[in-house]
């Protein structure tokens, strides 16, 4: 602890001792609050407008964020979940209890009971008749209570960020509203919310390196799920025709502005639908989320104005790659050929060893930066899409799309592969590639899943949407760490 904080800690501990010596419990079990700051202010303004006195006694609670003395009165800035309100303590009102204010500090939680009035400076204020210490703060708030500026501290001590930075608090609230809206949107469309395992015997359903753990009682290695896909499709096999899950998935990957090792997705699967149906649903879901959080389908993100109004452009992936890079992936169907073509236009391909890995690099380098407004890239190579159904018109292409905004992928969708023989062959190919290119991310063969779809998976449209990235866009935050309350950080 820094020396300055040490001194604050010592002084506040002395105040804590004095409070206890007075017979006051500095950490009571509860407090009955009748109004938040916003509720009190709104009710007072409503009474003013109708010329009805607002003279009822109310109780409020919050954290002390500022304090000013004026003769025999003290003014305290009280902060709660809804905002701030000024409260006034008068010595002639509180009598001997007025001296107890000397043991209060910025950062303490208090409850106060009194009546609302408007001061001569027109500020709506609670005139306190009685107050109660709810929690004594032993350490001071950061940066003299005006906000954190050190980014690392903000992420490591999120509670201080929420206290000090209004944007951090608003982002947390908006993210919660986003998840609630997504849940309501899916429920209204007849989807059933379900839960699937987090610990799985095979880390399949995506191309990612998993986290490994060991179960002692079973004496077996398990993995943290990298996707919820294969279990959700098992449920469709079982007759639950429209299912979704909102939950954390875990991928042992790097950390940057768009990636965190644990993140939240919403995956959904709808029987008798294809990727065109899902595309329409994504437009409706995201555009309605933007309107719900911001009041408009148009919103600012950094220095850009994004328009989420449907319909979004559908861009053929092959045509888009050709226009941005001059490379036609159908003409470069081998690793060496594609690698050479990419190297010729200045792309560093030293880290990619598989054809799918090279394609992913090509898309991220040449295509994604140009995708600013909401749009879909449509029809991916089958080699990049081991769980997607082949196009009926071209066996090299899978019925798959990804949604992009500001160069960032926000969703991935397929017409799901429901031919069990084709799926087995594709999984077996992924296993061969995994053995050949162990450092690259590959999907894995899940025998139990294959057995399930051998019982019959109906035509199904599937979707995975990244809630963290969507929250970034809808709350105007450039980093995923701003929208995850407790992001992973280096030691």
Task: Tell me what pLDDT residue 150 has.
Answer: 72
CA dist 99 to 2, 59, 89, 102, Å?
A: 30, 21, 11, 6
- Give the residue ranges of the chain where pLDDT is below 70: 1-5, 143-149, 434, 436-444
Find out whether 389 and 417 touch, Cβ atoms under 8 Å: yes
Residues in the chain, how many? 491
- The pLDDT of residue 266: 98
Q: What is the DSSP string of 469-488?
A: HHHHHHTT-SSGGGTSSS--
Quote the pLDDT of residue 147.
Answer: 52
The strand ranges marked E within 365-480 are 375-381, 397-405, 408-415, 460-466
- Per-residue pLDDT at 143: 63
One DSSP character per residue, 252-303 reads: ----BTTB-SEEEEEEEEEET--HHHHHHHHHHHHHHHHHHHHSSSEEEETT
Q: Please say whether the dihedral angle defined by the alpha carbons of residues 174, 175, 179 and 180, taken in this order, is positive or negative.
A: negative
Q: Identify the pLDDT of residue 479.
A: 95
**pLDDT value of position 309:** 98
Residue 440: predicted pLDDT: 54
Q: What pLDDT sits at residue 145?
A: 43
């Amino acid at each position: 602890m820094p020396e300055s904080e040490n001194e604050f800690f010592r002084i506040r501990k002395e105040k804590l001792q004095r409070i206890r010596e007075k017979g006051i419990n500095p950490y009571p079990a509860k407090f009955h609050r009748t109004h938040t700051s916003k509720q009190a202010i709104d009710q007072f303004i409503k009474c003013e407008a109708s010329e009805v006195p607002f003279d009822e006694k109310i109780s409020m609670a919050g954290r002390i964020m500022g304090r000013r003395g004026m003769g025999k009165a003290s003014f305290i800035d009280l902060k709660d979940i809804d905002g701030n309100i000024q409260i006034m303590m008068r010595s002639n009102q509180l009598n001997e209890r007025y001296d107890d204010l000397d043991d209060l500090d910025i950062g303490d939680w208090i409850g106060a009971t009194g009546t609302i009035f408007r001061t001569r400076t027109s500020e709506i204020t609670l005139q306190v008749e009685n107050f109660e210490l709810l929690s004594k703060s032993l350490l001071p708030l950061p940066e003299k209570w005006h906000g954190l500026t050190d980014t690392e501290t903000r992420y490591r001590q999120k509670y201080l960020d929420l206290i000090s930075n209004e944007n951090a608090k608003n982002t947390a609230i908006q993210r919660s509203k986003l998840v609630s809206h997504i849940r309501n949107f899916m429920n209204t469309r007849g989807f059933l919310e379900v839960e699937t395992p987090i610990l799985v015997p095979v880390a399949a359903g995506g191309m990612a390196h998993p986290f490994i753990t060991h179960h002692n009682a079973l004496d077996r290695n398990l993995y943290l799920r990298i996707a919820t896909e294969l279990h959700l499709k098992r449920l469709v096999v079982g007759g639950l025709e429209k299912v979704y899950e909102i939950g954390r998935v875990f991928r042992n990957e790097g950390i940057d502005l768009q990636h965190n090792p644990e993140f939240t997705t919403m995956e959904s699967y709808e029987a008798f639908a294809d990727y065109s149906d899902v595309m329409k649903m994504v437009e409706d879901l995201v555009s309605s989320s933007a309107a719900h959080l911001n009041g408009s389908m148009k919103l600012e993100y950094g220095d850009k104005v994004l328009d989420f109004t449907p319909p979004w452009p559908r861009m053929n992936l092959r045509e888009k790659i050709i226009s941005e890079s001059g490379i036609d992936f159908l003409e470069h169907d081998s690793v060496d050929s594609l690698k050479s073509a990419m190297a010729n236009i200045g792309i560093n391909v030293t880290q990619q060893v598989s054809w799918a890995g090279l394609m992913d690099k090509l898309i991220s380098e040449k295509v994604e930066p140009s995708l600013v407004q909401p749009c879909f890239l449509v029809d991916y190579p089958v080699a990049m899409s081991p769980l997607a159904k082949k196009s009926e018109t071209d066996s090299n292409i899978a019925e798959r799309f990804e949604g992009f905004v500001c160069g960032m992928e926000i969703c991935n969708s397929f017409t799901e592969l429901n031919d069990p023989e084709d799926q087995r062959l594709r999984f077996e190919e992924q296993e061969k590639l995994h053995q050949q290119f162990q450092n690259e991310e590959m999907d894995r063969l899940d025998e139990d899943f294959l057995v399930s779809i051998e019982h019959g998976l109906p035509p199904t449209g599937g979707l995975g949407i990244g809630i963290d990235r969507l929250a970034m866009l809808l709350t105007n935050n450039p980093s995923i760490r701003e929208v995850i309350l407790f992001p992973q950080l280096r030691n």
